[in-house]
Amino acid sequence: STVCRGNYNTLSKKTDEAAEVSEDHPDLSPALPTNLQHIPLQFEVVPSQVLIKNSENFYKLMNKRRSVRNLSSRPVPKEVIYNIVKTAGTSPSGAHTEPWTFAVIESMDMKEKIRAIIEGEEETNYKQRMSKTWTTDLKPLKTYWIKPYLTKAPYLILVFKQMYGVKSDGSKKLHYYNEQSLSIAVGFLLAAIHNAGLYTVTTTPLNCGPSIRSLLNRPSSEKLVFLFPVGFPADNCLVPDLHRKPLSEIMVEY
Ligand code: IYR
């Protein structure tokens, strides 16, 4: 319909070529079963005092989260990473399409290859592609194109956005709101990493997507959006003394 076509166009950026799904021959077989059952929700009503305590505890926990670029090579059990990724996978997604692939890198050989790709591109980013305003804005944060965390961290989690999926009959499955779905899942991932007691920095490797995608043999329907090095902070780890906006500056009430 016109409505669907309109919506779809707002969902795919012109640069995401692979997101262009032909609608000349729309495949109308639904991705979810037509007879999908609706079952009773398992829930309990939590008393107000407990709601307040729970929400305050979670805020206090999350307020201790910091982006950390100086990570230690101290080992982390693989099971923790599985739990973190499983948590990210509980995120809501457009039409329950779950448009994400989390590539977990543990092999030093692979980490070194990824680091070489990223540092190569980042040097050009910092020296040429990023504006003077951008690099000036970043100066106080002391970020560089040299990124030891890419080989120090016990794990790298690379998050790929599936611009479309494949149905059992081989036809393309539309991934509605895949950008938003992926971002929510990454929020869950960050919370899960922090809750476990680990640290990371949110990175979006500029211009590295295609090389890393081919290094990892990911299909052209996937686009690299985020890379998270995950581990413990280094012993001498420093973080910038940043402060968060108070509630009065981030919320308006009506
Ligand atoms: N991607 C580069 C630059 C960078 C950009 C922003 I915006 C940051 O908040 C931090 C870094 C890098 O990772 O160094």
Task: Give 3-48 pLDDT, tens digit per residue.
Answer: 444 334 444 444 443 444 555 666 677 889 999 999 999 999 999 9
User: What pLDDT, in 10s, does the model give residues 199-238?
Assistant: 999 999 999 999 999 999 999 999 999 999 999 999 999 9
Atom of ligand 1 nearest to the CA of 204: 1
Q: Whose CA is nearest to atom 5 of ligand 1?
A: 138
User: How many percent of the chain have pLDDT more than 70?
Assistant: 89
User: For the residues 182-198, what does the mean pLDDT come to?
Assistant: 98
What integer pLDDT is reported at residue 25 of this predicted model? 63
Cα 127 to ligand 1 centre (Å): 13
* pLDDT at residue 31, rounded to an integer: 86
The ipTM value here is: 0.91
Q: What is the 3-state secondary structure (H, E, C) of 39-74?
A: CCCCCCCCCHHHHHHHHHHHHHHHCCCCECCCECCC
Does the CB atom of residue 146 touch ligand 1 within 6 A? no
Any atom of ligand 1 within 6 Å of the Cβ of 171: no
| Ligand 1 atom at minimal distance to the Cα of residue 143 | 14
Q: Using CA atoms, how far apart are residues 222 and 16, in angstroms rounded to an integer? A: 10
Please list the alpha-helical segments (H only) found in the chain. 2-11, 48-62, 78-88, 108-124, 132-138, 149-152, 178-196, 209-215, 247-250
Q: What is the pLDDT of residue 18?
A: 41
- pLDDT tens figures, 97-146: 999 999 999 999 999 999 999 999 999 999 999 999 999 999 999 999 99
C-alpha to C-alpha distance for 155 and 151, rounded to whole angstroms: 9
- Ligand 1 near 179 CB (within 6 A): no
What Cα–Cα distance (Å) separates residue 235 from each residue in 69, 70, 72, 74, 197? 12, 9, 7, 10, 15
Q: Whose CA is nearest to atom 11 of ligand 1?
A: 143
* DSSP assignment of 12-34: S-TT-GGG----SS---S-SS-T
Cβ atoms of residues 104 and 178 within 8 Å? no
Contact 155, 83 (CB under 8 A): no
Region 187-204: what's the mean pLDDT?
A: 98
Label residue 97 left, alpha or beta by phi (over 0 means left) and psi (-120 to 50 means alpha): alpha
